[in-house]
Amino acid sequence: MKRDIQILTGQVLAADCRKTIAQATPRELYNAVSKAALDLAADAWKRAPGKRVAYLSAEFLVGRLVYANLLNMGRLGEVQQMLLDAGVDANVFEEIEDAALGNGGLGRLAACFLDSAATQGVPLDGYGIRYQYGLFRQYFEDGFQKETADDWQRFGDPWSVRREEDAVTVQFGGQAVRAVPYDTPVIGYGMKTVNTLRLWQAEPFQAFDFNLFNAQKYAAAVRERDAAEDISRVLYPNDDTDAGKRLRLKQQYFFSSASLQDMVRAYRAAHGGDFTHFADAYAVQLNDTHPTVAIPELLRLLVEEAGMRFADAVQVAHDTFAYTNHTIMPEALEKWDQKLFRGVLPRVYPYVKKLDALLRRTLEQRGVPMGEVSRYAILEDGMVHMARMAIFATHSTNGVARLHTEILKDTALHEWYELYPERFNNKTNGVTQRRWLALANPELAALLHDAVGDGWLTDLSQLKRLEPCADDPAFLARFMDVKREKKRQLAAYVEKHEGVRLHADFLLDVQVKRLHEYKRQLLNAFSILDTYYGLKEGRISRADFAPTVYLFGAKAAPGYVRAKGIIKYINELAELVNGDADVNGLMQVVFVQNYNVSYAEKIIPAADVSEQISTAGTEASGTSNMKFMLNGAVTLGTLDGANIEIAEQAGAENEYIFGARADEIARLQEDGYDPNAVLAAEPRAKRVVESLVDGTFSDGGTGMFRELYASLTEGASWHKPDHYFLMRDFIEYCDARLAVNRDYRDARAFAAKCVRNVANAGVFSSDRTILEYARDIWHV
Ligand code: KOT
């Protein structure tokens, strides 16, 4: 019999705070509803027998769990009705902040995979770190980014269960810490499968030293505790770069070792002490190189605790592990100083050395010339090269979009592809339609329900049946109504949170993603400034121009000065444009603060245009591009990452593609590229770039704008001028943007393009991605 979540919630509230649903605070209600739901999921939260996948990731950017879990449990409507009956706003949980245990695409992908695996019945558990503080919260002060700590647990963490009995010990040189798992159920749609997200928290063995405390040496008394807790204190806020810091390596080993100990213990309990068939019980996926230290750790455990020979252990590791590469940015390829590594992990380092020696013997056997060995070696130039270890010691290396995998094979990892071509494979990323369509856009979901039914919730390819609707005026009218409503909702939210009245009747053009030079938010800003001048000076006809809101959301890594300079620049641009009555009816620039998963759920469904403008060959895949497509925005983008496959699926005539392709960029890098020649030949380009230094804008005396200017025109010690080719693509981008604007004026034709995007988004479900991993890599 279906139990009543209302009765359960009432019982929890009565027991915990002696209040009714109508009386409870949002936080009390959140905790009570979550606990009640957790209780209803308990029966389904059982480990099925058979091989399991462990997805090891330093980041799981799950966002807000309560609505998504209720949706998958089939309880969302019931809870909304319950709140309504009690006179409580159905959006009451909007106050509950996201669990932002990730930076961006890599962490959000892990969260989409959890949802898809549970929905598709793939036995996959996530393993990571229970950071006390997630990604910093961002606000603007005088247009500059400021950061504050993200204390996400202050609302409680009702979705997790602490499993004291499963704690393990992780040993660093002289320091031993306890790893305590907190388990969160991962509830598949329909609740047929409930998997587990197991996040480890670092704790001391002793809360404090009593003798020191009695001697009034308080700081010393809690030193051990602080040192242990520091390990899971905070998420490193870098996306696409690596810090190379001691504490970061400790984090990586902490969760890798704890997770493997967990698996080894379970294996031993089920199969005894013979570990030769470990790979039949577990497939372990390494989400980028962050958990790669798991490889020598498994070797150590197999040799020292299971008595296996090293060569046999290597075979087990090879069969167990697989590695996903998420970026070719050279600064993101992890390397650790050998001395640092050995100092932090003296018990593991010998197994790295043995792997390196085995690699060198293998290269010799395969006839690789001596002079080439240094390109492969794990231990080389005083560093431990993690990606090399990950490719050598696993059976699979995959890229995350077709172009990305081709670049890995042809250039970035070419030498490895020559050695092990059979290991390389592509798994184009995807996103979960439960969160990114059903939950974020119930209005569009209802329209789809009427047009093609609900099968798309677990089989997104069914959206293809929507294609004829692109020619149906009645359907297009309803689609446009939905867009209008989502813009209206977004405008209300933006007004509340930013104090800005967003034009809900304008074309909405959006770029939301981490702030990085290669993603080229600065190119976007330059083109907006060019449009501004064009409108003011009559080069662009005001009468023909569809009024546009340009919306940005992005966090910059706190130490990434250029990225912060770009944020300041865009905020200055916003002030100029929004403060000019002459263009107020035509343009608005808004940079929202603290862009995160929950903000994305509001912004993406309202967008008309999805800005995906990275330099071709730099964005491995992108995943927001897929979320926009699914919600019926057209892509204004370069042929980079998954944009290529998006244009292929939707038809290039339904997107706006511009700019140099990856091969041209590679050629320019080889043969030379001179942005100053573009500046000399193209006054419009010159004018917007000069705005960095000619007094148009102020960087508050920080020198940030002059440095950005120099990066474009002179380069720096570590790069040539304009190394992301903004000037190469500037005019083409402006032209493509004007083409979008022109086409938008035929509202119906534009809506038809949007609908064709929705209809062809089927392959970009993470359900498809996860089933490919299961079939080709994990064999489950
Ligand atoms: C690398 C090092 C540290 C932190 C994050 C990264 C990282 C993030 N590497 N790649 N990503 C993004 O991963 C997404 C999911 O595959 C891709 O869609 C996106 O293009 C990558 O930039």
pLDDT tens digits for 53-107?
999 999 999 999 999 999 999 999 999 999 999 999 989 999 999 999 999 999 9
Q: Which residues contact 749 (CB under 8 A, 6 or more apart)?
A: 743
**DSSP letter string over 86-100?**
TT--TTGGGGSPPEE
Q: What is the pLDDT of residues 519-572, one digit of tens each?
A: 999 999 999 999 999 999 999 999 999 999 999 999 999 999 999 999 999 999
Is 427 an active-site residue? no
Q: How confident is the model at residue 2 (pLDDT cuts 50, 70, 90)?
A: low
Burial of 45 (0-12, 13-18, 19+ CB in 10 A): middle
> What pLDDT is attached to residue 131?
98
Q: Which residue's CA lies nearest to atom 15 of ligand 1?
A: 106
User: Count of CB atoms within 10 A of residue 703's CB?
Assistant: 12
The model's pLDDT over 697-732, given as tens digits with 9 standing for 90+, comes to 999 999 999 999 999 999 999 999 999 999 999 999
Q: Identify whether 627 is a catalytic site residue.
A: yes
Token pair in block for residue 431: 């996103």
Q: Which residues does 82 contact at the CB level (< 8 Å), separation at least 6?
A: 5, 6, 9, 21
Structural contact between residues 67 and 76, judged by C-beta atoms closer than 8 angstroms? yes
- pLDDT tens string 170-190: 999 999 999 999 999 999 999
For 401, the 3-state DSSP assignment is coil
The interface predicted TM-score of the complex, written ipTM, equals 0.96
**pLDDT of the residue at 780:** 97
Mean predicted confidence (pLDDT) in 258-268: 98
The CATH number given to 44-59+102-429+771-778 is: 3.40.50.2000
Give the percent of the chain with pLDDT over 70.
100
Q: What is the pLDDT of residues 195-234, one digit of tens each?
A: 999 999 999 998 777 787 788 877 877 899 999 999 999 9
Measured CA to CA, the distance from residue 163 to residue 664 in angstroms comes to: 54
pLDDT tens digits, one per residue of 304-325: 999 999 999 999 999 999 999 9
Q: Does the active-site annotation cover 404?
A: no
- pLDDT tens digits for range 563-614: 999 999 999 999 999 999 999 999 999 999 999 999 999 999 999 999 999 9
Known active-site residue 723 = no
| Residue-wise DSSP of 485-510 | HHHHHHHHHHHHHH-----TTSEEEE
Question: Rounded mean pLDDT of the chain?
Answer: 97
Q: What confidence score (pLDDT) does residue 219 get?
A: 84
Measured from CB, residues less than 6 Å from any atom of ligand 1 are 103, 105-106, 109, 238-240, 242, 288, 326-327, 332, 400, 429, 619-623, 641
**Chain segment 357-375, per-residue pLDDT in tens:** 999 999 999 999 999 999 9
Q: Which of 413, 412, 427, 469 is nearest to 444 (CA)?
A: 469
What does the pLDDT read at residue 211? Answer: 83
**What pLDDT shows up at residue 346?**
98
Instruction: Specify the residue with its C-alpha closest to ligand 1, atom 18.
Output: 622
The pLDDT tens digits for 666-677 are 999 999 999 999
8 Å CB contact between 201 and 180: yes
Centre of ligand 1 from the C-alpha of residue 326, in Å: 5
What would the two tokens of residue 392 be?
A: 């050598």
Let me know if 326 is a catalytic residue.
yes
The span from the CA of 511 to the CA of 490, in Å, is 15
Residue 323: C-alpha distances to residues 390, 398, 455 (Å): 6, 7, 32
Q: Which residue of the set 130, 404, 486, 514 is catalytic? A: 514
Distance CA 467, CA 734 (A): 30
**How many Å apart are CA 347 and CA 233, to the nearest integer?**
24
For residue range 437-477, list pLDDT tens digits in order.
Answer: 999 999 999 999 999 999 999 999 999 999 999 999 999 99
Identify the CATH number of the domain defined by range 439-632+673-689+723-761. 3.40.50.2000
Contact status, residue 431 vs residue 761, Cβ threshold 8 Å: no
Of 519, 555, 564, 728, the active-site residue reads 519
pLDDT above 90: residue 421 = yes
269 SS3 class: helix
Per domain, the residue ranges of the chain are: 1-43+70-98, 44-59+102-429+771-778, 439-632+673-689+723-761
Q: Given a cut of 80, is residue 244 above it in pLDDT?
A: no
Q: How many other CB atoms are there within 10 angstroms of residue 471's CB atom?
A: 11
CA 512 to chain centre: 12
Mutate to test the pocket of ligand 1, among 101, 103, 106 (most ligand atoms within 8 A of CB): 106
Query: What is the model's pLDDT at position 445?
Result: 98
Evaluate whether 581 touches 536 at the Cβ level (below 8 Å).
no
The pLDDT-based confidence of 384 (bands split at 50, 70, 90) is very high
Q: Say which of 35, 75, 300, 326 is annotated catalytic.
A: 326
CA-closest residue to ligand 1 atom 7: 240
3 state SS of 672: coil
- Is 318 known to be catalytic? no
Look up residue 20 and give its two tokens: 């009714």
| Percent of the residues in the chain that have a pLDDT greater than 90, as a whole number | 95
Q: Which ranges of 462-560 would DSSP assign to H, the alpha helix?
A: 473-498, 521-537
Query: Is the pLDDT reported for residue 1 higher than 60?
Result: no
Residue 649 has pLDDT above 60, yes or no: yes
Tell me the residue type at 315: Q
Angstrom distance (rounded) from CA 297 to CA 355: 12
Domains 44-59+102-429+771-778 and 439-632+673-689+723-761 share a fold: yes
